[in-house]
A and B are shown apart, each in its own frame.
Chain A
Amino acid sequence: MKLRSLLLWSLLAAGGMTASAHHSFAMFDSENQIRLSGKVTEFRWQNPHIYIHLQAPDPKGKMRHWTIECANPGILNRLGWKFNMIKKDDQLTVVVAPLRTGEAGALLKQVKLADGRVFGNGAPAGPPTISIEDGKPLPKAATP
């Protein structure tokens, strides 16, 4: 009975995870996340989504201009983000789910600021599957 209740709960939680306020995130490949390090060219704190523009090499070493989608100011404020915590020319490391099309767009999973603080991107965006420290796969999250 307890196991069944736990399973039901994890299903409910998973259902909630896929919900997005503004649009489905299905265009992003969350199964093949990548780690990027580079310099911020613009930080747009706005609804319905926040954007980090990052000049960073892709995993093959080609320098690209990334448009990285985050959740919205309400969700991220509630997680402890601040509108001014990222600035132009900041050096960032991110874990993202890239667009399936191969274009230089992505959904943020986790960000590490220049001062070492690490922030997630809220429940709808889902968790990182690789380490922001070294890009290696993380152990799968335990069932709640």
Chain B
Amino acid sequence: MMRALLVTIAGAALLATAGCTSGKEETATTQDFDPKDFSGTWDRYPLPTDAQPDPTTRPPVPGAIPDPPLKPEYLAEWQAERKRIDEANAAGKPIASHYTHCIPDGMPAMMQAMFPMEILVTPRQITFIQEAYNQVRRVYFNDTLPAVEDAEPGFWGHAVAHWEGNDLVTETIGIKDRVRFRNTPHSASMRIHERMRMIDRDHIENEVTVEDPEYLTGPWRWKWVYQRRPDYKMYEYVCEDNREFADPETGEARLRIDTE
């Protein structure tokens, strides 16, 4: 008798569980992904090798990144440097960049996803791993940033995040002076805001806003979009055995060739 009762209770529990599962499945059908689970590997969208995305099935292609709204006293120097780089390339004598020295992007450039990017969501943090230069950026949930004067400068700085609905909102400070996105100078007060959300299960958009009252006349905004790269396993990228070098006399990026 007791055994029969137990079986009945177990059966009822099973039915109740099955009912719950069924409910979850129905929810999953209307939105077949967890909008807060960014985990996976992602490419920039679109890649240069992608066919033109079909606008009926894929998100709009993000627009070009505008020039930085630098204050006039910094803009002339920035334009002159861009001209110098363009002219050097046109002359076939490219100027060595930080990449030539195997120096990584840092922020915000690493979020352009030059190569595939892996995102790991764990209870304490969200971690972005960029294949190029083995870059790792850790963004802590529900933490506070240090005061600007206490923020030790680094390539990826100090970053915190919280959820606003299904939007991941991050704030980053503490970027080294020589870590410059598109050669744009910045002060220790630069703040990088990001608002990321999953457009659908296979695309994340990242609205980036850079603020720096010392160098910029206003916010510098653009959008990056990432597309899922299913089942991709990230490669290592150790910038060793580098055979390019900055010519000490000309500053040009040169190829070290074997003696004939």
Which positions in A face B, CB cutoff 8 Å? 5-6, 9, 12-13, 16-17, 19-29, 44, 46-49, 51, 53, 64-65, 67, 69, 72-75, 77, 99-100, 103-105, 123-124, 144
Contact = CB atoms under 8 A, between A and B. Distances in A.
Contacts of B61: 9, 12
B89 A51 contact: no
B260 A64 contact: yes
B182 to A, nearest CB: 12
Interface of B: 46-49, 51-52, 61, 64, 88-97, 99-100, 102, 114-116, 131-132, 235-244, 252-260
A51 B243 contact: yes
A24 B89 contact: yes
A26 B51 contact: no
B114 A21 contact: yes
9 contacts: A19-B48, A19-B114, A48-B242, A67-B255, A73-B235, A74-B116, A99-B257, A103-B257, A105-B257
Given A67-B257, A67-B258, A24 B94 contact: yes
A23 B61 CA distance: 26
Contacts of A77: 235
Q: Which of B46, B242, B258 has the most CB of A within 10 A?
A: B258
Q: Which of B48, B131, B252 has the most CB of A within 10 A?
A: B48
Contacts of A17: 48
A47 B48 contact: no
A46 B254 CA distance: 18
A27 B93 contact: yes
A21 B253 CA distance: 13
